[in-house]
Structures are given as C-alpha cells and as structure tokens.
Amino acid sequence: MFSMWRHLNASRTFTCTAADFFSLQPRQTLFLCSDARVLRINPNRDFSGKRFNVPPSAEFVARVSGIPTMAKLPYQEAADGLDAAFVGVPIDTGTSNRPGARFGPRHIRMESALLRAYNSGTRAAPFESLMVADIGDVNVNVYDLKDTCKRIREAYRKILATGCIPLTMGGDHTIAYPILQAVAEKHGPVGLVHVDAHADTSDVVLGEKIGHGTPFRRCVEEGLLDCRRVVQIGLRGSGYSPDSYEWSRAQGFRVVQAEECWFKSLAPLMAEVRAQIGSGPVYLSFDIDALDPGFAPGTGTPEIAGLTPIQGVEIIRGCRGLNLVGCDLVEVSPPYDTTGNTALTGANLLFEMLCVLPKMKYY
C-alpha cells in the first residue's frame, strides 16, 4: 500500500500520504485532489480534539491492496496508547474435532477488508471515539497447549496493563481461559456473555484439563467469573447426559438454550441480560459455532439449528451500555470455510463488538 502511495505522490496527482489516511488531525478534513475533482474523507466530522487511527476508505484505497490488518487499521507491536486493539491468537491445539482455527485470525483479517468506518445500523462512529489498531498475534507454541496458555496470559497482562480493551480473533475456545485469567487479575471476577453452541464446561476430556471444551469450568474453579452475572446463549446439540447444562445452572449461570431463541428477536432477552449483569466489568466471548452452520460452516464443532447472524448482531448490540472489558470471536476454521463467509461474519461481529465498547460515540 505504501509503495502505491509513494507512486501516487510521485505522480503529483494526489496530495496526501497513506499515513494521512491512517490518522486524521483534530477537526481536520482531508482532501484528495485529483485533477479538477476534489474527494473528501470523512467530511464534516467532529474529531473531538483527539487524533485517532482511521482506516483508509475503499473509495480511495483499493480493498485488495495492502498488508491485511484487521479492518485495514494500522499495525503496531504493543497496545500502548490504544483504547482498543484487535489481537489474534492463532491456535487449534485445543480442538476436539475439525481443526483449522489456527488460521482464523489471518482469514478474519483478509475478509475484514470489506468493513467500513461507520455502523449504519446503530450510527456508531468507532474511529471517532477510540484509538484502535491491530497489534498482531500472540506468539503461541503450536506444540504445547499449556505453554500456549501461559504465553496468552502473559501477553494479555501486558495489553490490559496499558488500559487497552482487547478484541480477540481466535483461535479455538481454549484461549478464553488464559485471557480471563489476565482479565480477572486486573478487574476481579467478571460477568460473562458467552454465545456458543456448547457450554464449554467439561471437566476433563481424554484425561486433559485444558482444551476447547473446558475453559469455563477452569474459570469457575479459579474464581475468575462472577457466576450470578454469567449468561450462556445458543447452547444446543446432543449431549453426554439428559441435562447437559445442569452444571452451568448449578453455578448460578443463566442458560438460554437455542430452542428458546428460535423464531425470535433476541432484543428482549438482552434487556434482561443487561439487568442481570448491571454495571460491573463484563467479558463477551462469542464462539462462531453459536450461529447455524448454514451461515457459518467454517468451524470446528458445528451443531444444527443454531442462531441466525441477525440474532448474533442483536446479542452484541444488546451489550451496548455494559462495562465491556474485553471481547473475543473464536473458532473460525478457514479450511471448512469454502466461501470465506464464516470469516467475513466473524470480522463483522468483531466490528459490532468494537461499536458497543464504552465511550462509543453515536450519531
């Protein structure tokens, strides 16, 4: 992208650089001049006296150009100076069935090139509200899941110490455990909005305590969750016992099985969830397999009769007003995502998460 901009600048037909597109000055309207035409970026927008990262618009920079970062945001190595950061955790070592989630962050980033700067549905203006960047991936150990968990925990400690809110691209669901260890270290036990086809509360699988079916059991054991402020939405499928969600309910979680969601708007449910969760810190963990595999087939453990993308968006938009301290979108498995639409859906859900973070400005 930069070489393209150098070329354009050298040709003297444009008057700004790629860097100008990545960060606009306060109250500045950036002009792209090409012959007699004047093309404006973010016309008439109030930048609140603060300098923010702004992704380049596809009106001026081709979507297919450039190194793929999330939403075409700038890449930086650490979270310093950021209000929110997209971060990838490329593992599938904890997967029990179809592998491939280690490629999730890369494909979400590629498909995210279609994202634009504003949320047309809610009128959120994330890039006028928060300083956001892509901070790359956690350097995982693909040979050792326990070591990977340690690396994730340490990476998130550093991210959270800066005051930045992480928006994580998985990776299989194992990663929620070490992320929540770091989150609870900073905030104390947190509430949880967990959207998933599965409860992920198994104790031991094949003799192992760590895997993508066990993260929330480990979190409860370690006191990382405020169990009365936990909701699990979209659970379904065949189980190991007649009541697969008994353990969750016994901890005080609210369990909303997929059957309770069928044929309905989930906006009323989310009003109840907001009342349940209140004003304390809360984490949002969204497993793409919560959605029906007809919409999101590229995932490790698909279950039929799931949520629609509309319901997924309603859940996330229903988190507006909550004190979100972190979010993740996990279990996108590109080898099973032949159209790219699962990764595209993941990218859009992550954008929706960004658009409900605290301090968001809405027009």
Chain centroid to CA 165: how far? 11
Give the shortest CB-347-to-Mn ion separation in angstroms: 19
Distance of closest approach, residue 306 Cβ to Mn ion, in angstroms:
12
Q: Considering only CA atoms, which of 239, 236, 245, 256 is closest in space to residue 303? A: 236
Stretch that binds Mn ion, among 25-33, 155-163, 190-198, 203-211 (CB under 5 A): 190-198
The residue count for binding Mn ion (CB under 5 A) is 4
Which of 20, 128, 196, 303 contacts Mn ion by CB under 5 A? 196
Dist. CA 149–CA 140, nearest whole Å? 8
Q: How far is the CB of 227 from Mn ion (least distance, A)?
A: 18
Which one, 83 or 200, has the nearer CB to Mn ion?
A: 200
Asked if 217 touches Mn ion (CB under 5 A), the answer is no
> Which is closer to Mn ion, CB of 24 or CB of 176?
176
- Map the footprint of Mn ion across residues 273-292, applying CB under 5 A: 287
Q: How far is the CB of 301 from Mn ion (least distance, A)?
A: 8
Q: Which are the contacts of 10, defined by CB distance < 8 A and separation ≥ 6? A: none
d(CA 79, CA 233): 31
We find the least distance from the C-beta atom of residue 287 to Mn ion, in angstroms, to be: 4
Q: Does 314 bind Mn ion (CB under 5 A)?
A: no
Among 111, 200, 303, 328, binds Mn ion (CB under 5 A): 200
Distance in angstroms between the alpha carbons of the first and the last residue of the chain: 31
- Residue whose CB is less far from Mn ion, 72 or 254: 254
Angle in degrees, CA 290, 353, 141, rounded to 5: 70
x/- string (CB under 5 A) for Mn ion, residues 11-50? ----------------------------------------
Min separation Cβ 200 and Mn ion, Å: 4
Of 226 and 289, which has the nearer Cβ to Mn ion? 289
Smallest gap from Cβ 331 to Mn ion, in A, equals 6
Span of 28-36, 167-175, 226-234, 355-363 interacting with Mn ion by CB under 5 A = 167-175
173 near Mn ion, judged by CB under 5 A? yes
CB nearer to Mn ion: pick between 128 and 328:
328
Stretch that binds Mn ion, among 150-158, 173-181, 251-259, 343-351 (CB under 5 A): 173-181
Helix 341-354 to helix 309-317 angle (10° resolution) is 20
Q: Which is nearer to Mn ion, 200 or 328 (CB)?
A: 200
- 47-59 b/e (C-beta count within 10 Å ≥ 16 → b): beeeebbbbbbbe
20 vs 287, beta carbon nearer Mn ion: 287
| List of residues contacting Mn ion (CB under 5 A) | 173, 196, 200, 287
